[in-house]
Structure 1
C-alpha cells in the first residue's frame, strides 16, 4: 500500500511539469513525456490520463505512424480541443483587444475595441472585461484566469502602472485592482464559482514570455525582445526561461536609450530616445506623412511599409514599370533602421543575448532591409560581425495577448489539481 501511495504522489507531483511540457510542445507523445520527466512509462501514462480527466489534454491511444515506421507509434498528446481558456487583454494607445487563449498559446477568439483611453483605468477596463465576457459566453468554455498587458512598467507584486507614458492614466494607477474589480462586477467566475484570479504585466515583457514558450524564442537561453507597438518602444529579457523584471518590475526600459543626443524631446525628460525616434509616429513623420484619422499609427506605418516594399518586389519580377518606389518611404525606413540598429548594438554590448526578436513596427523594418539592420548592429557592437547576434522577427500574432494569457495559465501549470481538481 505504501508503494502504491508513493507512486501516486510522485505521479501527481509530475502533473504540473507534464502539463508544461505539452503546453510548450516539448512532449507531443507519451514517449517524449516519459523521457522529459524521467519517470517510468506507467507513471507517464497515469499522469497523462489524469490530465485528460481534468479536461486539459487529449491522449490519442491509436495514432497513425509514418509509412514504413517500425513498431507501434507512441500515444500522441495534444491540448484538449474544448478545454479551459484564459481571458487575455491588451490596452494600448488606440484602445484594446480582448481574447480567449487556450493551452498551447492558441487564440480561440478575439475582439478588438477602438476607443479613447481616459485617465480613469476603469473606463477602458470595463469595456475590456465586458468584451471578454461576451467571448466567454459565446464559447461556453471554462475560464481559469485573466491576464492584462499594458504599455507601462508594472510594479510587482501590487500591479500598479508606474509610467504609462502613452496613456492618460496617472502614474501609479492601481490597474490590477481595477481589473479585478471589473471581473467581479461582470461575474467572470472560475470552476469554483469565485471570480477568476487576475494578473497584469508590461506588454513587451509578456510578449517575450509568449515568444519564448511558443514562438521564435524557443530554446534561447538569453532572449532579448525589442518592439514598437502603437506608440513608443519597449524591451524585455528572458534569462533561462524566466522574465528578468528587475527588483521592482522596472528592468529593460530600452525605449529610453539615447540614439540621437540632439534628437526630439522624450516623455522621460531626455532627448533622442528610441521611444520617440523609432516608433510608428517617428516613421510617419520621417516619411512626410501626417497620421491619418482611421486606424492605429502602428497599422498605418505597417501598411505604408508593405505597400512600398511589396510593390517594389512585384515590379522587379515583371516588365510593368508603372510601379515605382517612393524614396521618402525608403529613406524613412533606412532612418529608423539606423536608429534602431544603434540602440540594439548598445543592448548587445551590455546584455550579450544569444537571440534578439523584433516585434511591432520593428518586425517590418527587419523584413524591409535585414542586411542593413544587421550591418548597423555589427558596426556599433564591441564584437562586430564576428560576434553577431541573430536578429529574428517575432513569430506570434498578438504575442502580448498570448503572453497575458500565460500569466493566467501559470497557476494551472504549477498545480493543475489545485485549480481544476474539484
Structure 2
C-alpha cells in the first residue's frame, strides 16, 4: 500500500482539523497562560471562545513546542464546583529570553522564562563605561555565559536603558544619568553584539520604566488595570509609563510620558533639561538624601542608601521631614498626571514605593486634594511588586513575537 492510500489512525484527521482551526488561537492561548489568566484548560476554552476539543488541540500544540505543560489527569481545585479540568502550567525547562538592564549604578544580565520568571542572573557590574558599545558588549557576554551554563534555548533579547528610546531608530535620546552621548544607537549596537555572540532571535531596546510598567501589567501590581500609570525612581531620576488596553503608550516616536520633567517645585534645583524643580531632581534618591542632610556614600547605590535610611531611621525627625517633602512633590506630580490621563490605577516603583510604604495616607491625600479626578473618585495607588521589573519587561519585548505567533517564532 503506498503512502497516498495508507489509512489514517482513528481520530487523526479530526485532531488535525481541530488544530488547524485553532492555529490562530495559539498566540492568544499562550498569552493567557503566560499572564496567569488560564490556569486550566476549561478556563482557556472559555477565554478563547472555542470548543473544548479545539482548546485541547491548542494546548497540546503549545506543549509540543515546549512552552507549557498540561497535566495528564484532570483535577479540581479544593472547594470548586463542576467538572474537573486539566491544569496548565509553564514548562520548567522551556525557552528563555536574554534580558539586560543598564542604569546609573551598573548593569546586569538575566535569563527570563515565560510567566516573567527569572531563571538565572549574572553578577551585576557597578561601573558603566562612557562608551555604550563597551557596556553592551560586557552585558551580552554575561548573558551568553548564562545561556551556555543553562543550555536553554533563547528566543531573543531585550535591553532596558534609563533614557527615552526613539522609534523607529532605536536611539537613546537623553541618557542624562549616564555618560553616554545623546542619540547613541543602542538598539543597533545591542543587536550587533547579540549576533556576534551567536545568540538567536531578534533584539530590542526600550526605556526602563516603560518596561517596568509592561512587566507589572502582565505579572505584578498592574495586572487587570485598563489604564495603568507607572511612576518610578530607580538609581537616578524619575520616569513614567502608561499602559492602555494592555499595550504600552509610547507616543508617535517613543517619547511619551517623560514625567520626570514635570515642574513640582518652581524655585527648586536646576534640572538637566534646563528647567528647575522637575520631579527628576526633586523626588529621586539623591534629592531625598540631600533633603535629609545626608552625604551620599560611595559604598552602595544611591537607591539603596535612600531606601535603607527610610526603613531604618524613619524616627529621625530629619528623615521624616525629608519623606514628607518628597511625598508632597511626588503627589503634586501624580495629581497633574491624573488630571491629564485619568488612569484607573497608579503603581510606584523604586524609592517611590518606599515612600508609599512609609506614609501611604499622606501621598493619597495629596493626590486626591490636588486632582479633579482624585476628588471625584479615589485612584488606587499601589506599590510595584516585581523584583527587577525592568529586566522582566526587557524579556517581554523578546517574548512578544512568540506570543504573537508561536509557530512562526519557534520554527
Same fold (TM over 0.5): yes
Task: Identify which of 355, 365, 368 aligns with 1:375.
Answer: 365
Number of the residue aligned with 1:400: 390
Alignment deviations for residues 220-252 of structure 1 (CA, whole Å, 9 cap, x no partner): 111000000100000000011111000001100
Q: Distance in 2 between matches of 1:6 and 1:179?
A: 42
Q: Distance in 2 between matches of 1:185 and 1:68?
A: 54
Task: Identify which of 57, 69, 83 aligns with 2:68.
Answer: 57
Distance 1:392-1:67 versus aligned 2 partners, 3 A rule: closer
Alignment deviations for residues 78-132 of structure 1 (CA, whole Å, 9 cap, x no partner): 0000100000011000111111100011111112423332221111111111111
Task: Identify which of 184, 193, 214 aligns with 1:182.
Answer: 193
Partner of 2:334, secondary structure, is helix
- 1:95–1:124 CA contact under 8 A, matched in 2: no
Q: Distance in 2 between matches of 1:345 and 1:284?
A: 24
- 1:204–1:226 CA contact under 8 A, matched in 2: yes
Number of the residue aligned with 1:314: none
Partner of 1:114, secondary structure, is coil
Q: Distance in 1 between matches of 2:120 and 2:185?
A: 28
Q: Distance in 2 between matches of 1:122 and 1:396?
A: 29
Partner of 2:387, secondary structure, is coil
After TM superposition, give the deviation of residue 3 of structure 1 in Å. Answer: 8.3
Number of the residue aligned with 2:50: 39
After TM superposition, give the deviation of residue 180 of structure 1 in Å. Answer: 1.1
Task: Identify which of 299, 312, 317 aligns with 1:327.
Answer: 317
Number of the residue aligned with 1:230: 235
After TM superposition, give the deviation of residue 70 of structure 1 in Å. Answer: 5.5
Partner of 2:37, secondary structure, is coil
Q: Are residues 1:157 and 2:168 paired?
A: yes
Size of the aligned set, in residue pairs, is 400
Task: Identify which of 242, 247, 256 aligns with 1:242.
Answer: 247
Task: Identify which of 315, 320, 329 aligns with 1:339.
Answer: 329
- 1:96–1:112 CA contact under 8 A, matched in 2: no
Partner of 2:124, secondary structure, is strand
After TM superposition, give the deviation of residue 305 of structure 1 in Å. Answer: 1.1
Number of the residue aligned with 2:121: 110
Partner of 1:86, secondary structure, is strand
After TM superposition, give the deviation of residue 137 of structure 1 in Å. Answer: 1.4
Number of the residue aligned with 1:420: 410
Partner of 1:290, secondary structure, is coil
- 2:75–2:86 CA contact under 8 A, matched in 1: no
Q: Distance in 2 between matches of 1:127 and 1:411?
A: 26
Q: Distance in 2 between matches of 1:100 and 1:90?
A: 12
Runs of 5+ unmatched residues, structure 2? 1-11
Alignment deviations for residues 374-399 of structure 1 (CA, whole Å, 9 cap, x no partner): 11111111244442211000111111
Partner of 2:73, secondary structure, is coil
Number of the residue aligned with 2:183: 172
- Runs of 4+ more than 6 Å apart: 1-5
Once the two structures are superposed, the pairs formed by residues 50-199 of structure 1 within 5 Å of their partners are 50-67=61-78, 72-189=83-200, 196-199=201-204
Partner of 1:227, secondary structure, is strand
Structure 1 vs Structure 2 CA RMSD = 1.6
- 2:217–2:224 CA contact under 8 A, matched in 1: yes
Runs of 5+ unmatched residues, structure 1? 190-195, 310-324
Number of the residue aligned with 1:352: 342
